[in-house]
Structure formats: structure tokens, C-alpha cells
Chain A
């Protein structure tokens, strides 16, 4: 009754756009990754270099630092966002006057363009015009200089990301929570489960698809991050996330090492895909159980 051809026809515009603007550039990057192509080198154009770029990458201290930092950034930021987002969503399931106002205010950061977020956080934290270092110094006698302390720079980026993206997590969690059926929860309570047990055995399994999807999306975006952190600290110290690192390697303003930059992006993409694939299996495994 349902002709697959119709299905393909419906899918085709999406496939065509993504093949042209997503897959073709990917193929290009894939090919260039095996070439030596640097705008500023003595030889012109592309020279096939096999796995040289990938070999170099394994020993590139900066790249490895950037991977390490990205992982730390992602774990800290996404971890905090999930916990905070869940708590906030839980609070929003209750009814109290003025709830929607608080919810709307809470979603404000989502609407600020990343580049503006970076700019405003820079204005908050740079000594000389930022109130944060000033008051930390005045009230708590703390030295706060993101230019001088890599850990502070990383933490500032994490806090900025949490500020910017927790609302997104709150919304998805809220959607997830509000679609949990009431009966299992009531049943569990009748059976004498305490709040923690209800959360662990009832709420969490129902939330799992939403939770994983949210994590998935946040991981993809955290690794891609360029604008925000670049505007905040220009990519250093301690903030050379892979997105920024790739941008710096391939940016003609810096090095225009397009061959090597392609190799770096391929590896980053590969790592992201593997990570996401694992999550995807976790999600779809659950889905199959439901449908069939």
C-alpha cells in the first residue's frame, strides 16, 4: 500500500540539500586531509602526502590539549546543564502564580547570539571594565584574570555555556517530564517507594530518550563551539576548544594549513560520530523495544 518510491520522493529534497551542502564539503575535506596543502609553503597547490597529516596530529601537543580541554569543557558544562536543567524543570512542573513569567525570563539567554554572549561575558570578566574581577577582588580578595590563569579561563567558558544553554535543557526536560504518565508514579507511591526510588525507577527510565537526545545535541554543539569562546578569550589560555583549534589551523589569518586542518577536522568529526553512535544505539535500542 505504501510505495517506497513515494517515501524516497518525500525524502529527496532533504537528501539533496544535505548531500550538496553537507556531504560534498565533507568529501572535499576527506580528500584534502591526505594532501599537503599549505597556502604559505614553498610549493604550490596540493601534494599527496598519504597519512602524514594524521601522523603529525598524533604528536601535535596543541591538538591533544584541545581535545583534552574540549572533553573537560563538555563534561563540566553538559553535566551542570543537565543537573541544573532537570532541577529547574522539576520546579516548573509545580503550579504557582507567575510561573510562566519566570519561565520566559529563564529562556532569555537562548535568544542571545553566541557572538554577543561572548562579547558580554568578556565585558563582565576582563579586568579594567568588568565588574566580576573588581568585586571578587574587593569583597573576597580573589584574583580573577582569565588571561593569566588557564583554569579560570576554562571555568569561565563553562559557566558562560551553562548560562547560555541550561534554558534549552530545562525546556527539553520540562517537555519530557510533562509527558510522563501519572499512573506509574502513583502506582510506585502506593507500593511504598520513596521519592528517590520513584525518581530512579520510574521518572528516569521515562526521561531517558529526552535525556540522551539532549546530551547528544549539546555534545554536538559544544564541540562545534567557536564564536562564543573566541569572542570571550580569543581561544586561550585553556580555552582552545577543538572548534577554535580547527578554526585557527584552517584560518588563513593564522596558518592556512588546509591539508592538516582537514585531517584535524576529520578526526574530530570521527570522534564525535563514534561518541554519538554509542548514544544513538542506546536511544534507538530503547525505541525498538517500544515499537515492536
Chain B
């Protein structure tokens, strides 16, 4: 396998040219978002200019110093993180049960679990609204407009995805390892702690990360089922569109800011994402 320097050069050149192009395509919309976030409202119109004319940070400072923005941000962080943790735990237990126990109608249960993600969310808004405001009510407290409500509700679309993803991972862990641990005297928790969790770690990590991103980005439920206290950051984005004009600059600034937490997570967890997303593909 000797390749001439010339061929090597062309191979590198084509690889880098290709990726440079992909990077450009990927970044143009994000770049445009950045450009818009650094323009005043008057500058937005007229002949489009793809370059940053100057560093104008007022949109950012307006958003960042707004106390409601800080509340929304906190809510988003709490809801997504709690939801991701909850989903990781529940999905691990559920997949372990589905994988290791002979449960009646196992395949059907699995399929039913998955179908929960298929439901068009718009259709469920009304029943969920009624449930949140009237069914779950204790005196003056209702599930409506609480972080808890969103944390539980987001399981509906995150759990199916997580279970699906983990099912393959847990199925791929040889059952003999469980048995060996049990012979050594480990109970159920011991098996989970010492066998399943370490081996499923990449899968669990990716489950958590993707659940976190899905929860972080969710809009429709958050918009309808919160009011003031538990509103999340995505609902704030829609508020910029008003009858007296859309404040695109601040909208873009806020979008850029909301991108930061997920970007940090994904950059640090990049390795796990690829390792974890195997969906039970054959492992050697």
C-alpha cells in the first residue's frame, strides 16, 4: 500500500475541499444569525450584506440583562437536565426489564412505548391542558406552569427514543455477564451497577445528551402548558414576533445564546455520541 506523494496530496486536498464546503454550508445560517444579532433594527433592511459591519452588542445586552430572560434560562436548564436524568434512569430500568425478563407481550409493549413519540403534539395540547390544570390539582397548586410538569411531560417523546436506543445496547451485553455477577452474590442493583451501567455507559451518555437537546429545544408544549413561572427559553423566542414588528436582532441574539449550552455539551460529549448511537448494530 504505497501511495505516491502526489496522490496523497490530491486525496488530502479533495478531503479538505469537501469538508470546507460542508462546513461553509453548515455555518452560513448560523453565521447569518450572528450577523443579524449584531445589527440594529434599521440596518436589517435594504441590500443584504453578509459581512459583519461592526460589533454591535446591544441586542445581547438587552437580552442578557432582562430578568425574565434569566428566569427562562434557569427554567430551561432545570427542565432539560432533570428530564435527561429521569429519562436515562427510567429508560435503563425499562430496557433492562424488556431485555432480561420474559414479560407477556414484550414486543407489543416495546412497540407501544415507541408509538408515544409518533403522536402529533398539537392534538394533545387540549387534553394535556385540562390534565395539567384540573386533574393534577391540590388546593391552589396545579401541574400547570411548573417545572415538574414539563419534566414529566417531556418523557413522552424522550423515553421512547431513549428506550429504543438503549434496547440495542443492553441486548448487546451478554447475559452470561449478569449470571456471573449473580453467582458472585450480586443482587439486581449490583448487576445494574457493576455490569450494565459500565458497559452501557456510552449509550447512556448519548441518551442523556440527545434527551437533553430535545427537551432544551421543545417549544409547543412549553408554550401551552406554562404561564409565567416555568416558561422556558424557546417560548421567549416566539414572543419577539409581535404585531408591531418582530425584533429580529434580539431574537437572533437570544438564539445564539441558547445555542451555547447545547454546543458545550455536544463538543465535550462528541466521542460518546458516536459510540452510543449504535442502536444494537452488531458489535464485535
Asked if A pairs with B, the answer is yes
Closest to A113 in B: B217
Residues of B within 8 A of A94 (CB): 15
Q: In the complex the two chains form, is A119's CB within 8 Å of B93's CB?
A: no
Is the C-beta of A13 less than 8 angstroms from some C-beta in chain B?
A: yes
Interface size on A, residues (CB 8 A): 105
Q: In the complex where A112-B255, A123-B32 touch, is A4 in contact with B103 (Cβ < 8 A)? A: yes
Closest to A120 in B: B33
Closest to A287 in B: B280
Per-residue CB contact flags for chain A residues 191-221 toward chain B (1 = under 8 Å, else 0) read 0000000000000001101100110010011
Closest to B179 in A: A1
Interface size on B, residues (CB 8 A): 100
Q: In the complex the two chains form, is A120's CB within 8 Å of B29's CB?
A: yes
Residues of A within 8 A of B164 (CB): 213, 217
Interface of B, secondary structure class, is helix
Is the C-beta of A8 less than 8 angstroms from some C-beta in chain B?
A: yes
Residues of B within 8 A of A114 (CB): 217, 219
A257-292 at interface with B (beta carbon < 8 Å)? 258, 261-262, 264-266, 268-269, 272-273, 276-277, 280, 284, 287, 290-291
CA A249 to CA B91, docked complex, whole Å: 34
Residues of A within 8 A of B217 (CB): 112-115
Residues of A within 8 A of B284 (CB): 179, 181-182
CA A18 to CA B281, docked complex, whole Å: 27
Q: In the complex the two chains form, is A209's CB within 8 Å of B29's CB?
A: no
Residues of B within 8 A of A277 (CB): 111
Q: In the complex the two chains form, is B116's CB within 8 Å of A210's CB?
A: no
Q: In the complex where A4-B101, A119-B252, A129-B45 touch, is A220 in contact with B117 (Cβ < 8 A)? A: yes
Q: In the complex the two chains form, is A276's CB within 8 Å of B114's CB?
A: yes
CA A266 to CA B118, docked complex, whole Å: 11
Per-residue CB contact flags for chain A residues 117-146 toward chain B (1 = under 8 Å, else 0) read 101110110001111001100000000000
CA A1 to CA B101, docked complex, whole Å: 10
CA A17 to CA B156, docked complex, whole Å: 8
Q: In the complex the two chains form, is A88's CB within 8 Å of B263's CB?
A: no
Residues of B within 8 A of A23 (CB): 116
Is the C-beta of A237 less than 8 angstroms from some C-beta in chain B?
A: no
Closest to A160 in B: B29
Per-residue CB contact flags for chain A residues 152-186 toward chain B (1 = under 8 Å, else 0) read 00000000000100010001101110111110000
CA A85 to CA B129, docked complex, whole Å: 38
CA A290 to CA B124, docked complex, whole Å: 38
Contact for A14 among B163, B234, B263, CB less than 8 A? B163
A240-258 at interface with B (beta carbon < 8 Å)? 242-243, 246-247, 250-251, 258
Instruction: Name the residue among B113, B164, B274 with the largest chain A CB count within 10 angstroms.
Output: B274
Q: In the complex the two chains form, is B276's CB within 8 Å of A175's CB?
A: yes
Residues of B within 8 A of A226 (CB): 121-122, 219-220
B32-62 at interface with A (beta carbon < 8 Å)? 32-33, 36, 44-48, 50
A83-108 at interface with B (beta carbon < 8 Å)? 88, 91, 94, 96, 98, 100, 102-108
Q: In the complex the two chains form, is B120's CB within 8 Å of A110's CB?
A: no
Q: In the complex the two chains form, is A131's CB within 8 Å of B251's CB?
A: no
Q: In the complex the two chains form, is B219's CB within 8 Å of A17's CB?
A: no
Residues of B within 8 A of A223 (CB): 118, 120
B252-279 at interface with A (beta carbon < 8 Å)? 252, 255, 258-259, 262-263, 266-267, 270, 273-279
CA A163 to CA B155, docked complex, whole Å: 26
Per-residue CB contact flags for chain A residues 1-30 toward chain B (1 = under 8 Å, else 0) read 111101110110111011011111110110
Is the C-beta of B242 less than 8 angstroms from some C-beta in chain A?
A: no
Residues of A within 8 A of B279 (CB): 172, 175-176, 209-210, 213-214
CA A163 to CA B25, docked complex, whole Å: 8
Q: In the complex the two chains form, is A14's CB within 8 Å of B159's CB?
A: yes
Contact for B267 among A104, A120, A231, CB less than 8 A? A104
Q: Separation in Å of the A37 CB from the closest CB of chain B?
A: 10
Q: In the complex the two chains form, is A11's CB within 8 Å of B98's CB?
A: yes
CA A72 to CA B217, docked complex, whole Å: 25
Contact for A25 among B102, B118, B127, CB less than 8 A? B127
Residues of B within 8 A of A42 (CB): none
CA A128 to CA B248, docked complex, whole Å: 13
Q: In the complex the two chains form, is B128's CB within 8 Å of A21's CB?
A: yes
Is the C-beta of B123 less than 8 angstroms from some C-beta in chain A?
A: yes
6 further A-B pairs in the complex, CB-CB below 8 A; given A106-B22, A110-B266: A13-B94, A91-B19, A105-B27, A106-B23, A179-B284, A209-B280
For this complex, 13 residue pairs linking A to B, each with C-beta atoms less than 8 Å apart, are A14-B90, A15-B109, A21-B128, A102-B23, A104-B267, A109-B30, A110-B213, A119-B248, A176-B279, A210-B281, A224-B120, A272-B118, A276-B115
**6 closest A-B pairs (Cβ-Cβ)?**
A7-B101, A265-B123, A247-B122, A131-B48, A116-B255, A28-B127
